[in-house]
Structure 1
């Protein structure tokens, strides 16, 4: 089956409209969050609120506390390494090439229980929670690696999430 070529006659706006967002490798908003490295590639402002897209490097022992997003889904795609994912009250191991979709209202977290860093991309649909990473996270310091946070540092997340209007809750 072949498709007819679409020509610009009468459809010029399809050929000249521009709006692609291009974030080359190594660019984006990079923040350190309790030892993890997150680079926000697309924000809700970029996507008209439809998604937030993040690249993550999770060192051994790294990952967030268990939490729930009540008003958005979160999807993960592992590029390298292995991560343990919490799904409600059970865990599943995920490796390079694996995809996970966390429906809204599902208690979840990921944790690197391996011996090497894991790399993944993940997205929020709809956008919003990427703003929490940007506001809560630390700016990278050249020549250093991020360190895990003490428990009291995580207490800052609640007031920031509330101010941003995020419907997210950390759970034990």
Structure 2
């Protein structure tokens, strides 16, 4: 679904707004940069990017990250580097949305956000379709989102 709140070309999926500010085409495939605004409590299921390194640049809000079994927090002005092939996820914590840049090298993954937005797929209900799309972008979902264990425990 197109989203004009972040400017031209922005899309929205599961309450998160994505706008690619540097496309794969503009970098000759070297990288892509996506400006993302995520609501409190949001975050993807655990996953692996098999062919791309990922960096988060936190502009506002706070996030808890899980990277290969380690949990840590990052806030405005901080960054996270996730090497390709490492299992990871994150969750926006606190009461305010998080705006962050998602940088992937090489580029190409921005197409995943566009496809998810176009289909408005739901997690976990539409995971088979999401998994098929993720495979086209060399990503595998491997586990639940952060906080799922809290929900299961009734917290």
TM-score (ref. length: structure 2) = 0.81
Figure out how many residues of one structure are paired with residues of the other and give that number: 139
Question: Which of residues 41, 46, 50 in structure 1 aligns to 2:30?
Answer: 50
* Structure 2 CA distance for aligned equivalents of residues 104 and 28 of structure 1: 30
Q: Is the 8 A contact 1:29 1:134 kept in 2?
A: no
Per-residue deviation at 1:64? 1.1
* Structure 1 CA distance for aligned equivalents of residues 48 and 8 of structure 2: 25
Q: Give the structure 2 partner of residue 152 of structure 1.
A: 125
In terms of Rg, which structure is larger?
1
* Structure 1 CA distance for aligned equivalents of residues 140 and 80 of structure 2: 20
Unaligned 5+ segments in structure 2 are: 144-155
Q: Give the structure 1 partner of residue 113 of structure 2.
A: 133
Q: Give 1 or 2: higher helix fraction.
A: 2
Q: Give the structure 2 partner of residue 16 of structure 1.
A: none
Pairwise CA RMSD = 2.1
Question: Which of residues 130, 134, 152 in structure 2 aligns to 1:161?
Answer: 134
1:66-85 Cα deviation digits (max 9, x unpaired): 11011110011001110001
Runs of 4+ with >4 A deviation:
none
* Structure 2 CA distance for aligned equivalents of residues 56 and 129 of structure 1: 14
Q: Give 1 or 2: higher strand fraction.
A: 2
Per-residue deviation at 1:26? 3.9
Q: Give the structure 2 partner of residue 74 of structure 1.
A: 54
TM-score (ref. length: structure 1) = 0.73
Q: Give the structure 2 partner of residue 6 of structure 1.
A: none
